[in-house]
Structure 1
């Protein structure tokens, strides 16, 4: 029956017809003449029909063999083309790169990186999905996720691309009106803008240069579920908050925000590339390298 046919024998059959003899086919395939003959006999048995008529001097295709040979040539050509396409995707960035990341990091870092990546690789089209929920990469057919913070356990593969610092910030106007905290404990007397998606948005541990730790519980005046919204409220003078460096640095340089308690450290967050499968295609590998270089300032 057709579903019992050994498909490897198709290549032997095509090579035999092309070579014109069992001896020549055996030489081309690196097999013995007896092995070629055995493959043909088993193929005919599996198909339940005679493909070749042979004598001591010549061989010729039957009508069924002629039709089957044409089909086999087309099937093998299609298989070779499919293998070539897979190889091309493995080595050359191409096709659609579908990736996801958080709203704040996507707007501040990933989108500009994708713009320069597309200029380097015009054969790649980009589909960027930003949002603050954790997408299912396999079910939603994502090639890649760029995730910031602390990764949860997952069967997906992850590469650490870098890290970001967390900084306590406020506007000069807010500090002029409410005073500037000099010690972590003084933050408890200020209005705190919390990022609600964090595990402990109101409790922060500060580490001094000498290694001593101070944990402070804040008094909230507002909260939001992503860093971009917290950033906007801080800039509007609503209070004090922790922001990642990639959102705050430009405002700090411009004087719109002031870093508080710079002599203390807060936990650093990681920046990770997360993807399904052990061997990502070239488009994924190339963008990971591109983003890593941008984060390193190369």
Structure 2
């Protein structure tokens, strides 16, 4: 059995980075080390603990059974070390390093960006990069520390913390209503032009529910399809069709009369907003700080 005194604990961070990045090259880029140095750390770590952790070939890198168990334990050790440092320095200690955040385009612009500006003001030594996309982002492959995701989460090995929720409203512009009138029932929406978000699994199907729990699905055939939520909002504002849009993105439009809620007793089914991060035991201090900032910004709305 390996002696703890013979193990360089700094190599645990290198090993965890290799497993999460999926390759020595990607881990080296994330850590700011050369690929040779990363490989040397892994080889020395395997000698120190007396077990093979990775299987390396010219085409791929895989984790051994022992390596998977050691990875899980290493994550807990590194998190415990970070928690210990936080306890000593206090939660108000300045955060340093880089925080890479992923978010959907509309939510990233409206909510995440102001939250990150607030974080920069609080932690000026923290470098922040926001990557906005309406497509699925692989956290490990792209070196993302935390992704803000809306709706149902895909089954994965990532961990998640719920930070809020949202619903979608059926809305249209005043010009659209003047031309087509207001529908009386959800079923009447099927005959109206619809602005559909093509990146959704079923862009032409509207799943609506009332406050009393009653549900109805409507299939729309006459649709203008767009691939971003911002484009869907713009097309709806321009009268291109009615839209089923997120409340956080159109609250101001409804308040100003630029959009009008159709069937206000009906809305999309409530869904969650989650912070998703790589499978360490707990989110890092940087990720925890971002989660708290976003939660505070959402408190008046949730």
For the criterion TM > 0.5, the same-fold answer is yes
Change (3 A) 1:6 1:247: closer
Aligned to 1:159: 161
For residue 97 of structure 1, give the secondary structure of its aligned residue in structure 2: strand
With over 3 angstroms needed to count, the CA separation of the structure-2 counterparts of 1:94 and 1:168, relative to structure 1, is: same
Task: Return the match for 2:292 from 252, 264, 289.
Answer: 289
- Give the drift of 1:207: 2.4
Does 1:257 find its partner at 2:259? Answer: yes
Q: Distance in 2 between matches of 1:116 and 1:267?
A: 31
Partner of 1:279: 282
Conserved in 2, the CA contact under 8 Å of 1:161 and 1:292? yes
1:204-243 maps to which residues of 2 (within 5 A)? 204-243=206-245
Distance in 1 between the 2:90 and 2:144 partners?
A: 17
Q: Residues 161 and 276 of structure 2 are in contact (CA less than 8 Å); yes or no, is this contact kept in structure 1?
A: yes
Shift of 1:153: 0.5
1:90 to 1:143, Cα distance in 2 relative to 1, 3 A: farther
Alpha-carbon offset, residue 269 of structure 1: 2.0
Q: Which residue of 2 aligns with 1:123?
A: 125
C-alpha separation in 1, matches of 2:266 and 2:234: 24
SS at match of 1:273: strand
Residues 97/178 of structure 1: CA separation in 2 closer, same or farther (3 Å cut):
same
Instruction: Return the offset for 1:7.
Output: 8.0
Task: Give, in angstroms, the shift of residue 163 of structure 1.
Answer: 0.5
Q: Is 1:182 paired with 2:184?
A: yes
* Aligned residue number for residue 106 of structure 1: 108
Indicate how the Cα distance of structure 1 residues 211 and 145 shifts in structure 2: closer, same or farther if over 3 A, else same.
Answer: closer
> What whole-Å deviation, never above 9, does each CA across 1:229-249 have from its counterpart, x for those lacking one?
101110111010100011111
Instruction: Give the length in aligned residue pairs.
Output: 223
Secondary structure class of the residue paired with 1:197: coil
What SS does the aligned partner of 2:113 have? helix
Alpha-carbon spacing, 1:200–1:7, altered in 2? closer, same or farther (3 Å) = closer
CA distance in 2, matches of 1:9, 1:179: 77
In 1: Cα distance, 2:178 partner to 2:236 partner? 14
Which runs of 4 or more aligned residues in structure 1 lie more than 6 Å from their structure 2 counterparts after TM superposition? none
Structure 2 CA distance for aligned equivalents of residues 7 and 202 of structure 1: 59
Q: Secondary structure at the match of 1:180?
A: coil
1:270/1:7 CA distance change after superposition, 3 Å? closer
Deviations 1:81-124 (A, max 9, x none): xx89x936995422211111111111111111111121122221
SS in 1 for 2:266: coil
1:139 deviates by 2.1
Rounded Cα–Cα distance in structure 1 between residues aligned with 2:281 and 2:194: 43
Cα root mean square deviation, aligned: 2.6
Match of 1:8 among 5, 17, 24: 5
- Out of 73, 81, 87, the residue aligned to residue 85 of structure 2 is 87
Does the Cα contact within 8 Å between 2:98 and 2:128 map onto a contact in 1?
yes
Unaligned runs of 5+ in 2: 8-80
* Alignment correspondent of 1:71: none
Residue of structure 1 equivalent to 2:31:
none
